[in-house]
Amino acid sequence: MKFLDLAKVYIRSGSGGNGCISFRREKYVEFGGPDGGDGGRGGDVWVEAVEGLNTLIDFRYQQHFFAQNGQGGMGRQKSGASGADMVLKVPVGTEILEEDEETVVADMTELGQRVLLAQGGNGGWGNLHFKTSTNQAPRRANSGQEGVERTLWLRLKLIADAGLLGLPNAGKSTFLAATSNARPKIADYPFTTLHPNLGVVGVDGAEFVIADIPGLIEGAHEGRGIGDRFLGHVERCAVLLHLIDATSEDVAADWDTVLTELELYGGDLADKPRVTVLNKIDSLDDDERAEKRAALEEATGGPVMLMSGVSREGVTEVLRALRAEIDEDRLRLKAEDDGEGEAWRP
């Protein structure tokens, strides 16, 4: 299945049915009177986060979604049927944006979450509603309200606990393949990964989800390479795993390139907890490992871990470091939720 994380859709809610002008005419009935029914209500347009979807590819082939119009009223006080609703089914983690691609309408972060995108129009009143003591034969009825038309963007942001960052060929896909059942494409040329991959990783009896995105290069925020369009998939992560190729001539410059792109991307992505790892150490001897680790620690101002995705050296320690950051983030979120739920007391 092809991966698609951005789609444009056009929606329209149903219009309300018109009210009816009708009078009761029956044989042997002396007095008639108005009996026009009301129009039915137009259908709504909803969006719902469902299980079993991980891409927006369905919206590549259908972009227009219209709810059903309400039926008009009829005589004998018969109201028109309401129009059927239209439901857009999206993966969990989808953002609904206005046409400007900036204003957030809804963020579908929970399974089963439903949000109203366009409300259907009300049905018009029939002439029965306008009957009074002084106007016993009204020839007036209301038209149904028009539906609402909107142009929206759907943007999928994968929900993962940890995200992989690094330059092309830093070993991100190799790490994901070595630690999970995911099978991303691995090759010895840049930009092997063309779309995000997810893998479930286990360590010490605990499991968490890692997202692998295409590599960043200098100028990605300007659209160079694949660009920074995939950085949205790691915005929801609790921790970022920054992999640096140990065989690079200047590991400090590689680290600075990715960090600069995170800062230029905006938001709080650059402020997220990060685990910095010097990867591919199986290609270095002990002296080269110590030299490049010292250079990277001087640039980052923090600890640097050593790992090899091929030989699996240091992989368990890196997973444990990620798990510690994820557990800390979950505890923080739980504390915030508990704090919101407590009633204020003097």
Per the annotation, binding residues are: 166-173, 191-195, 212-215, 279-282, 308-310
Superfamily of domain 1-156: GTP1/OBG domain (2.70.210.12)
Return the SS3 of 10. strand
Token pair of 76, please?
């004998």
Per the annotation, binding residues for Mg(2+) are: 173, 193
| Per-residue pLDDT of the chain in tens (346 residues, 90 and over written 9) | 467 888 999 999 999 999 999 998 888 887 888 999 999 999 999 999 999 888 898 898 999 999 999 999 999 999 999 999 999 999 998 999 999 988 999 999 899 999 999 999 999 999 999 999 899 889 999 999 999 999 999 998 887 888 888 888 888 888 888 888 766 656 554 556 666 777 888 888 888 888 888 777 776 656 666 656 677 778 888 899 999 998 888 889 989 988 888 888 876 788 888 999 999 888 888 898 899 999 999 988 889 999 988 888 889 999 999 999 888 887 776 676 666 545 444 4
The amino acid sitting at 226 is: I
Eight-state DSSP code of residue 195: S
Distance of alpha carbon 296 from the chain centroid: 35
Per the annotation, binding residues for GTP are: 166-173, 191-195, 212-215, 279-282, 308-310
CA–CA gap between residue 43 and residue 78 (Å, rounded): 19
Token pair of 192, please?
């092997």
* CATH 3.40.50.300 domain locations along the chain: 162-340
* CATH 2.70.210.12 domain locations along the chain: 1-156
Fold of the CATH domain 162-340: Rossmann fold (3.40.50)
Instruction: Look at residues 32, 119, 27, 130 and name the one whose alpha carbon lies nearest to residue 73.
Output: 130
Q: What pLDDT was estimated at residue 343? A: 47
